[in-house]
Amino acid sequence: MRSSANSIEQTGPQPPKLGWFDRVFPMLGRHRLEFLRSQAAMGDITRFRMGPRRVVFINHPDLVRDVLVVNAHKFEKGPVLKRARSLLGDGLLTSEGSFHLRQRRMMQPVFHRSRIAGYADTMSALAEETALKWQPGSVTDIDREMMLLTLRIVGRTLFSADVDDDADDVGRCLTEIVEMFSVLLLPFSSVLEKLPLPHSLRFRRSKATLDRIIFEMIEDRRRSGVDHGDLLSMLLSTRDEDDGSRMSDDQVRDETMTLFLAGHETTANLLSWTWYLLSEHPEADEMLRREIDEVLGDRPASLNDVEHLRFTEAVIAESMRLYPPAWAVGREAVAEHELRENRIAPGTTVLMSPAVMHRDARFWDDADEFRPDRWERISVKEAGSRYIYFPFGAGARRCIGESFAWTEGIIVLATLARRWAPKLVAGHPVEAKPLITLRPKYGLRMTLEPRQAH
């Protein structure tokens, strides 16, 4: 591994001690976040290698804006998402150029505010079902509970599908696939996928299971001919405004698979880390309870409540600051570019990390502390416009489901927290595991404590 640095001088953590594998593939080993934080401590722009691949790590909002917004045309998606085509096909996360713009244009209406208003009732109802199912004093894996809940929400809202019968299979398959993403960065990963190795066999089985479920949904919808006004109906019926073409079943499958993964995995992780942070910060938990009592009283949350649940939104925002589900963003240069007099050659991977930037003391007071009250002094919109906060990315490829995720996070948290205050089991280890998303490495075992009546 070679590393160089320039720009602002900083002091901070030194690179972790790395074994051979970590030195050759530092973004695949056990210390990914620690490695990136040590890079940031050496300067705003550093260079290293991932095997044969040249990587530039950037850690300044001006540089993030340069790559993701101002000169976005010089960059494509990074190597992980390119290799993810083996699972996601040419979905919105992996496609490029005019095809990506076409797909995004066709899908944008599904995430319009008027549509989200309809989704909010489903989000609230399913969250309330979960709240009523929980038992006082029981110990549960809160991360698994959030995975199942968000999977039900994405199935019901975007596909009008009841995935309860398949929820365990889908959740297990998506977990195995998320675990596989690290392998996608290895040289010759396309060859490794085809070998009868344990992880490759699990990946193929999981992909086949998900394909079966999704193609059955598509076939049933085509056969019924009923327009449910959801994403699936829109994908099947929408014509491109330029050439009048419709999506093939394979294209519909690719977008459906993408949203199954992105639409529930990220929000589930966000909610899981939020419960952990509230458990560790009883003062913030009490402020949340007071707001919920004042705004909701004895009913679940609705879309009309979202604008009044300001502290609930701040808790979600602060959770995403400390534990952004999309913890790293990669781009690959397709044209030569300069970043502060640093030449970026075509084929170079440019890497940036919300998980690092969001904890940079230059831009955040008490950067490592959970302080939802900080959002009284700076809005999410302002922090995003300054590029010190980008949990949903930035620019033309900013997450299409951002408003969906905000609405879901606030409604689900408020509805569940109205009845419950989960507490981390004493002694349970907590560590972030940076895969394609930032998952809790050991899960989050929590005791379900009912809220006391006030």
DSSP letter (8 states) at residue 68: I
Report d(CA 194, CA 201) in Å as an integer. Answer: 9
Domain, as residue range, for 87: 52-447
Cα gap 32→38, rounded to integer Å: 10
| Residue 207 domain flag | yes
- Residues 338 and 350 sit within 8 Å (Cβ to Cβ): no
Q: Are 356 and 33 in contact (CB under 8 A)?
A: yes
Q: What pTM does this model have?
A: 0.89
pLDDT at 113: 80
Look at residue 157 and give its three-state secondary structure.
helix
- Residue 37 in domain: no
Distance between CA 227 and CA 229 in Å, rounded?
6
Residue 360 lies in a domain: yes
Number of separate helices (H) and strands (E) present in the chain = 19, 13
Which residue, among 57, 64, 46, 89, has the nearest Cα to 207 in the 3D structure? Answer: 89
Cα dihedral 170, 172, 175, 180 sign: negative
Q: Is residue 24 part of a domain?
A: no
Q: Domain count of the chain?
A: 1
Contact 437, 269 (CB under 8 A): yes
Which DSSP category does 239 fall into?
B
The per-residue DSSP string of 75-98 comes to EEE-HHHHHTHHHH-S-TTT--HH
> Do 121 and 305 contact (CB within 8 A), yes or no?
no
Positions of E strands within 377-418: none
State the CB neighbour count (10 A cutoff) for residue 321: 25
List phi, psi (to 5°) of 292: -65, -40
Residue 368 lies in a domain: yes
Of 411, 443, 452, nearest to 145 by C-alpha is: 443
Judged on CB neighbours under 10 Å (0-12, 13-18, 19+), 224 is: exposed
In angstroms, rounded to a whole number, what is the distance separating the alpha carbons of residues 446 and 324? 21
Which residue carries 């401590």 as its tokens? 41
Q: Which residue, 294, 298, 276, is CA-closest to 285?
A: 276
Query: Which domain CATH number covers 377?
Result: 1.10.630.10
Among the listed residues 272, 220, 256, 242, the one whose alpha carbon sits nearest the alpha carbon of residue 422: 272
Give the start-end residues of each E strand in 225-334: 329-333
* Sign, CA torsion 112/114/118/124: positive
User: For the purposes of burial, counting CB atoms within 10 Å of the CB of 19, is it exposed (0-12), middle (13-18) or buried (19 or more)?
Assistant: exposed
Phi, psi of 452 (to 5 degrees): -80, 140
Q: Could you tell me the CA-to-CA distances from 343 to 269, 385, 417 in Å, in that order? A: 36, 26, 50
The CA distance from 16 to 379, in Å, is 35
* 31 in a structural domain: no
Residue 46 lies inside a defined structural domain of this protein? no
Over its length of 454 residues, how does the chain's per-residue pLDDT go in tens digits? 334 433 333 344 455 565 655 665 666 666 789 999 999 999 999 999 887 889 999 999 999 999 999 999 999 987 777 767 777 778 777 777 888 888 788 788 778 888 888 899 999 999 999 999 999 999 999 999 999 999 999 989 888 887 777 777 887 887 787 777 666 666 666 666 676 777 778 888 888 988 888 898 888 888 888 888 788 888 888 766 666 677 788 888 888 888 888 788 899 999 999 999 999 999 999 999 999 999 999 999 999 999 999 999 999 999 999 999 999 999 999 999 999 999 999 999 999 999 999 999 999 999 999 999 999 999 999 999 999 999 999 998 898 889 999 999 999 999 999 999 999 999 999 999 998 889 999 999 999 999 875 5
The answer to whether the beta carbons of residues 106 and 392 sit under 8 Å apart is no
Q: How far is CA 38 from CA 19, 27, 41, 286, in A?
A: 16, 13, 5, 36
Structural domain includes residue 29: no
What is the pLDDT at residue 270?
97
